[in-house]
Chains A and B, each alone.
Chain A
Amino acid sequence: MDAKELYASLEKLFPGKVGNFKGEAMEPCLNVDSAAIIEICRFLRDSPGYNFEVLSDLTALDWPKEEKIQVVYHLFSYAQNHQIVLKVDLPRDNPKIATVEEIWKVANWFEREVYDLFGVIFDGHSDLRRIMLPEDWVGFPLRKDYIEQEEYDGISTQRAPLVEKLLR
């Protein structure tokens, strides 16, 4: 199924919950209403003809100008050899979305990473802890306005610029 057919059928089945389809883009993508993410993902995985049995990737993009964080789902189907990208816009000051862990188990770790680096809260997640950074780290590094804390556990995170030191 190509992306246009897929979007047309989704629009019919979930009116008002999908939109902003970009079919001409290199990776066709569509926006999904954050409240409908679980039902749409479940439908895409289980329905014959769609068979998105794999969540290839789950990540996020930070758009501070538009005041939003976008969670991006790359879905893939081995059976049909097709893919689709779902995007969910979340408010930047309180990004919260339901977990898709029940649908694809791998989402557990993907979501932990997005939580760790972007600060998106996944409701209903079984083990939402930081994964890359220590538990007591402050801030979310992949946000565009992230400023690194000056020290962590008494260890400085700053380093004097090497070249300037040599020039002096």
Chain B
Amino acid sequence: MSETASTETGFFAEEMTISVGPQHPSTHGVLRFVVKTDGEVISEAIPDVGYLHRSIEKIGEKVTYHGYVPYTDRADYLAAMFANQAFCLAAEKLAGTEVTRRGEFCRVIACELNRLASHLISVGTFGQDIGAMTPFVHALRERESINNLMEEICGARLTYNYIRIGGVGYDILPETLTRIAEFLDHFTPIVEEFNRLLSGNKIFIERLAGVAVVSKEDALSYNLVGPNLRGSGIKWDIRRDIPYSVYPELDFEVPVGTAQVGSLGDSYDRFWVRIREMQESVKILYQCLKMLPKGPAIAKVPKKFRPPAGECYARVEAPRGDMGFYVVSDGSEYPYRVRIRTGSYTAMSIIDKLSKGIMVADLIALIGSLDVDAPEIDR
């Protein structure tokens, strides 16, 4: 018991230490918080991670470049396509491999579909954390359609192993392209519906406006990336600013937080950026379907893939932000070192700071709004 634990009202209560997680419905996977609270007010929430450490980086040193692609799927199971792409980009840069043009477009189509699926989970579970059960089911229904499309494209629903060094594993069939277009036609009004159901809901807004505000300085210092960074008002998107693949040819906006309902960088801003990013992804997909050129989907890449000695850091804009693969080659068939830098890891590190002085229920909103994904933190 500590005498110093007092609230502003002058009440003295006993400070309690409780453990939230590792299995808890609102912590989004296996992670744990040691929460010190004084009644409803949190004085500190210390994140405890590592429950899902699968040493993916060490495995990278033991398998060949081609063989490592399926392992990258497991870094972030909600957005496996992006880890595929980041690793392949790094390997291609090291070896100087050219990707076929159709391959690039297939990559973008697959990635943007994956982004939709990942953001749907994020905003859906976020609503559920706040207490809105219905939107979650709506989001999951849409994601199911995307999973079906993904299955048509690459045969898997979560761990795709689709993007390979030099292009993509399988070409997208014309029937599938039609079905993607049909899905997009169906999905555009769904976002509006979702906004009517959740984003504009008064209770939802009241719960999030001004909660867990991340200032621009903190966002930079803690290296928040992706929607979390843009939620704080920093207009930065790797697809636009360090262009890769065919993104420079595509026309899309980079949504940023605008203090929509509360203050800049609050939980609602981060949520709202994701909703608008889904609309941008739909725009990108429509363009890709129109522009998709003919040709081979994958370049000729030697089976024994030996990039010259060197190192390379490849970034992609994943749903959880800047995903970086730092690959070091010593000229052999196996990478000398693979390092995966993920958005959730840095997002998790800021929770300790933001949790000071907020309510217990707001901690759940904070975790949900940062969209952390446990396997991506632990790798």
Max count, chain A CB within 10 A of own CB: residue among B57, B220, B242, B378: B220
Return the contact of A57 from the options B220, B310, B326 (Cβ within 8 A).
Answer: B326
Interface contact B241-A81, CB-CB below 8 Å: yes
Number of interface residues of B (CB under 8 A): 37
Return the contact of A85 from the options B53, B313, B345, B350 (Cβ within 8 A).
Answer: B313
Contacts of B312 in A (CB 8 A): 26-27
Flag whether A33 is at the interface (Cβ < 8 A).
Answer: no
Min Cβ gap A27→B in Å is 5
Flag whether B311 is at the interface (Cβ < 8 A).
Answer: yes
- Given contacts A81-B241, A105-B222, are A142 and B349 in contact (CB under 8 A)? no
Residue of A nearest to B46 (CB): A127
Flag whether B55 is at the interface (Cβ < 8 A).
Answer: yes
Interchain CA distance A134-B32 in the complex, whole Å:
14
Flag whether A61 is at the interface (Cβ < 8 A).
Answer: yes
Q: Can you list 28 A-B pairs, Cβ within 8 angstroms, ordered by A?
A: A27-B312, A27-B313, A53-B221, A54-B223, A56-B223, A56-B322, A59-B341, A74-B313, A74-B326, A74-B341, A78-B236, A85-B313, A104-B221, A104-B223, A105-B350, A106-B221, A106-B222, A106-B223, A106-B349, A108-B349, A109-B349, A131-B49, A131-B50, A132-B50, A132-B378, A133-B50, A134-B50, A142-B57
Contacts of A25 in B (CB 8 A): 310-311
Flag whether A10 is at the interface (Cβ < 8 A).
Answer: no
Interface contact B310-A26, CB-CB below 8 Å: yes
- Given contacts A81-B241, A142-B58, are A54 and B324 in contact (CB under 8 A)? no
Interchain CA distance A81-B234 in the complex, whole Å:
13
Given contacts A26-B310, A104-B221, 6 further A-B contacts (CB under 8 A): A53-B221, A57-B339, A61-B337, A117-B57, A132-B53, A141-B58
Contacts of A117 in B (CB 8 A): 57
Interchain CA distance A142-B337 in the complex, whole Å:
9
Min Cβ gap A139→B in Å is 12
Min Cβ gap A95→B in Å is 16
Number of interface residues of A (CB under 8 A): 30
Max count, chain A CB within 10 A of own CB: residue among B49, B234, B346: B346
Interchain CA distance A131-B345 in the complex, whole Å:
11
Interface residues of A in 54-111 (CB under 8 A from B): 54-57, 59, 61-62, 72, 74, 78, 81, 85, 104-106, 108-109
Interface contact B221-A105, CB-CB below 8 Å: yes
Contacts of B348 in A (CB 8 A): 109
Min Cβ gap B20→A in Å is 18
In the complex, the 6 A-B pairs of residues with the closest C-beta atoms, listed nearest first: A109-B349, A106-B223, A132-B53, A105-B221, A132-B50, A57-B341
- Given contacts A59-B339, A109-B348, are A132 and B49 in contact (CB under 8 A)? yes
Interface contact A56-B324, CB-CB below 8 Å: yes
Interface contact B234-A109, CB-CB below 8 Å: no
Contacts of A131 in B (CB 8 A): 49-50
Contacts of B223 in A (CB 8 A): 54-56, 104, 106
Contact with A along B62-90 (1 / 0, CB 8 A): 00000000000000000000000000000
Contacts of A105 in B (CB 8 A): 218, 221-222, 349-350, 353
Interchain CA distance A104-B234 in the complex, whole Å:
17
Min Cβ gap B115→A in Å is 21
B residues near A (Cβ < 8 Å) are 49-50, 53, 55, 57-58, 93-94, 218, 220-223, 234, 236, 241-242, 310-313, 315, 322, 324, 326, 328, 336-337, 339, 341, 345-346, 348-350, 353, 378
Interface contact B326-A72, CB-CB below 8 Å: yes
Interchain CA distance A62-B234 in the complex, whole Å:
36
Min Cβ gap A7→B in Å is 17
Return the contact of B53 from the options A62, A108, A133 (Cβ within 8 A).
Answer: A133
Contacts of B218 in A (CB 8 A): 105
Interface contact B349-A54, CB-CB below 8 Å: no
Return the contact of A61 from the options B221, B242, B328 (Cβ within 8 A).
Answer: B328
Min Cβ gap B341→A in Å is 4
Min Cβ gap B9→A in Å is 31
Contacts of B349 in A (CB 8 A): 105-106, 108-109
Residue of A nearest to B349 (CB): A109
Interchain CA distance A132-B374 in the complex, whole Å:
12
Min Cβ gap A76→B in Å is 9
Interchain CA distance A62-B345 in the complex, whole Å:
22
Interchain CA distance A62-B310 in the complex, whole Å:
15
Interface contact B242-A81, CB-CB below 8 Å: yes
Interchain CA distance A59-B328 in the complex, whole Å:
12
Min Cβ gap A31→B in Å is 14
Min Cβ gap A61→B in Å is 6
Min Cβ gap B371→A in Å is 17
Max count, chain B CB within 10 A of own CB: residue among A29, A54, A72: A54
Interface contact B93-A26, CB-CB below 8 Å: yes
